[in-house]
Amino acid sequence: MLTVLRDGTYRRLFAAQVVALLGTGLLTVALGLLAFDLEGSNAGAVMGTALLIKMLAYVGFAPVVNALVARLPKKPVLIGADLVRAGMALCLPFITEAWQIYVVVFLLQSASATFTPAFQSLIPTVLKDERDYTRALSLSRLAYDMEALVSPAAAALLLTVVSYNNLFLGTVFGFVFSAIMVAVTVLPQAMAPAGPVTSLWHRTTLGARIFWRTSRLRSLLALNVVVAAPTAMVLVNTVVYVRDVLHRPDADLALALACFGVGSMAVALSAPAVLERFGDRAVMLTGAVVIPVALCAATATMFLAPPGAGWWWLLGLWFLLGAGNSTILTPSARLLRDASTEDTRPYVFTAQFSLSHACYIVAYPLSGWIGAAAGLGWAALALTILAILGSAGAFLSWPRRSSPGAVRPETEEQPVEQSTEHPASRVR
């Protein structure tokens, strides 16, 4: 897997991604402490609002800003987004009111909504070989999982010697480092988009229309729902189950969350060989089976297990849920690449970025509100039903056309519009 780092361009871009992710992890910890400093017991409401603003920025802002910058050179777009993120993070130590958090979070996450899809759509241009690209996707998944494990530990260590406000400086460093890495990297020269410049509305909706007209991307949209269900269950309700139901210490909360991350990492490490042998469809739809089954088991555990029991069972289920998520998330960018041309790729990656986060706008409140009002068992049941519906949609949408051992599924030849639309908007 690490052989892909021999490519100097990708190595610098991957370093930028890893350091920026670590900085983002520090930001999450420090932001929670800042909210508690400002609002005390109301800090949960502040963080919930901030997370909602983050998702709204991802869903509503990303397609519009991508449509505005799609024809611009990638390097200044990426550097500019990193510098905006660094500037916003630098403002956080000086905040004195909760509403200021909301403004800064919106601007920072809007810059992230600009950076992330542009960065992701750049990697297939850097790594054109199928196997190298798959290895890069596995490394990227590992980077996200490591961030979830390493950043809290690093934050805890730093907080023993500095105040939480200094963690924001670590975030600033991460974004500035990312900008420097992009600046010193020679990026592939993008070809000028074909055809005339179309309307902003056409460009904003292009990625979503390509999704709707491509069966495998419709399946991916349903799989996004499947992924959102366990993620919401784990991130929102693990703390309640571990501390309030099982009466375990704080350290066990970290252990439970780590099991979710370790399951994801285990699949990411094996993904290149498994995908080469079985193909995207078999691997991703396996995740669509594992997740509802594991959520069903979690629901039964929360309804039937005696109070204080079920700790080891929980760790195993969380491991399975993390592994199931990774079987879907790791190969997903391969589908996006195969269903797009170089001209349409930024729009398709942006559509995935927005549509996947839209699923969390549904899953997070469903998990939190039902759990608080009716209990964790009913929340797990609601998320199980959500995952089953997403899984059914994924199986129905993805045609079984390619052979099991194919590395890449057969690509549909389907235009996004009639011949009046310029060639950049056609699905390859």
**Integer Cα distance of 93 and 30 in angstroms:** 9
Distance from C-alpha of 246 to C-alpha of 313, rounded to nearest angstrom? 12
Distance (Å, rounded) from C-alpha 343 to C-alpha 43?
44
Length of the chain: 428
Domains 1-188 and 204-398 share a fold: yes
Q: Which residues of the chain have pLDDT under 50?
A: 402-428
Q: What is the pLDDT of residue 142?
A: 84
| Domain covering 204-398 in this structure, CATH number | 1.20.1250.20
Strands (E) located in 55-127? none
Residue 249 CA, chain-centre distance (Å), reads 29
- CB half-sphere exposure, 329, CA atoms < 13 A: 31
The pLDDT, as a whole number, for residue 193 is 55
**Contact by Cβ (8 Å): 19, 174:** yes
**For position 37, what pLDDT does the model report?**
84
Q: Measure Cα distances from 14 to 72, 119, 169, 173 in Å.
A: 22, 10, 21, 16
Q: How far apart are CA 131 and CA 184, in angstroms?
A: 26
Whole-angstrom Cα distance, residue 90 to residue 110? Answer: 16
Spatial distance between the Cα atoms of 422 and 428, rounded to a whole number of angstroms: 13
pLDDT tens digit sequence for 363-409? 888 888 888 888 899 999 999 999 999 999 999 999 876 433 333 43
pLDDT tens digits, 6-37: 888 889 999 998 999 888 888 877 887 888 78
What pLDDT shows up at residue 176?
A: 96
CA dist 268 and 280 (Å) reads 13
Buried b (16+ CB within 10 A) or exposed e, 314-342: bbebbbbbbbbbbbbbbbbbbbbbbbbbb
Q: How far apart are CA 401 and CA 398, in angstroms?
A: 9
Determine contact, residues 237/375, Cβ cutoff 8 Å. Answer: no
What pLDDT is recorded for position 399? Answer: 81
DSSP-derived secondary structure letter, 357:
H
If DSSP codes are grouped into helix, strand and coil, which group holds residue 410? coil
Are 381 and 371 in contact by the 8 Å Cβ rule? The answer is: no
pTM for the full model?
0.80
Q: What's the pLDDT score for residue 365?
A: 85
- Other C-beta atoms closer than 10 Å to the C-beta of 73 total 11
Written as one letter, the residue type at 322 is G
Q: Tokens 């700790």 identify what position?
A: 311
Strand, helix or coil for residue 405: coil
Class of domain 1-188: mainly alpha
What are the structural domain ranges in the chain?
1-188, 204-398
